Amino acid sequence: MFLMADSATLLGADPDLAAIIARIGPCTLRGDDGQEPYDALLRAIAGQQLHGAAARKIFGRLCLLGEGGSIDGPPPAPGQILSLSEESLRGCGLSGNKLLAMKGLAQARLDGLVPSRAEASAMTDEELITQLITLRGIGRWTVEMLLMFTLNRPDVMPVDDFGVREGWRRIRKMELPPKPKALKEETACFSPWRSTLAWYCWRVAEEGKKTAPNPLTA
């Protein structure tokens, strides 16, 4: 959980954010989902362009093909992914592009391009982003979510995320959401606790909506 004394003090010193924190309450962002980067990225690929329930269903089917043979178990290991037939993977509900991205991810893990959790701990945020966005189907936002929700990095500001930009617009009472470059500049002063700030932006952007919060960013 990121909202510890230091982050609360820094964010709470800003009057607009102090009001948001008082209204929403303590940050409940858990930065470590216990997954290996490979598993988390495989899940991210499976869920691209899908709503939460559909994404979980497809990823569950993929996990059934893993060694555990359970929808709640781990997904197939890299060697398994590479050995599975296209028919088997498509049977999970995966598109051709996602299938290719998963096989590329699996090969990259075997080649050492996708680090283990232990290896990732020795790399900076930008080093991980630069290395992983070379993979098919993996963009900067996907790696930022990996940093925030799997690798427990406290200072990530996903400036391209619409929810974050919309939340910041509401917090600052702006007419339009800021451009990514402007948002990066405006939030730089909240380093090293920008993951917490992003979490509050998501919560503010979701206020008043009848749909459930995004299961990834909640």
39 has catalytic annotation: no
Q: Return the structure tokens found at 218.
A: 């909640």
- Say which residue the tokens 């995966």 belong to: 94
DSSP character for 209?
A: -
- The count of residues in the chain is 218
Non-local CB neighbours of 101 within 8 Å, separated by 6+ positions? 45, 135, 136, 137, 138
Alpha carbon dihedral 150, 151, 157, 161, in 10-degree steps, equals -30
Residue 30's Cα: distance from chain center in Å? 12
Q: Return the structure tokens found at 49.
A: 């362009």
Q: State the catalytic residue, choosing from 16, 39, 155, 161.
A: 161
- Say which residue the tokens 């691209």 belong to: 48
CA–CA separation, 69 vs 73, rounded Å? 7
**Residues with active-site annotation:** 161
